[in-house]
Amino acid sequence: MALETAGGGLAFLIGRLIFGAVLGFMGLNHFIGLEGMSGYAASKGIPAPRLSVAGSGLMLIVGGLAIILGVYPFIGAAVIALFFLGVTPVMHDFWTVEDPEQRQSEMTNFLKNAALFGAALVFGALSGTDWPYALNIGL
């Protein structure tokens, strides 16, 4: 397998670090911008918007750390995938937006989330193998 080569292992590590760090940063922003994000969630009809924003931020942080460290990576990938599967079509429903600029912004966020969902599925698929440069706990 390509992960077993020095270059493949290093590329996988860098990919894990970038993916996990982006997710962690996104999750941290859920707490930094809790008020604004809660208002946006409320405008989309999300129940208990403040709790939902905080909970989803925690999902991103925990999932990102699981991928970075290789600690229960299947659970981490599943949490991330579930987050994007649930959040993306509800929060970034570009097809319902009339304003062209806002529609473009929502479509960009929808597509970004779709790509991150796909990456989470890939990490989940690879979670049963030893990861180079990882703690490999819970494989």
Encode pLDDT of 65-114 as tens digits: 999 999 999 999 999 999 999 999 999 999 999 999 999 999 999 999 99
Task: Give the predicted TM-score (pTM) of the model.
Answer: 0.94
Q: Going by C-beta distance under 8 Å and a sequence separation of 6 or more, which residues neighbour residue 9?
A: 3, 132, 133
In the predicted structure, residue 16 carries a pLDDT above the cut 70: yes
Q: What percent of the chain has a predicted confidence (pLDDT) above 90?
A: 95
pLDDT band at 20 (very low <50, low <70, confident <90, very high): very high
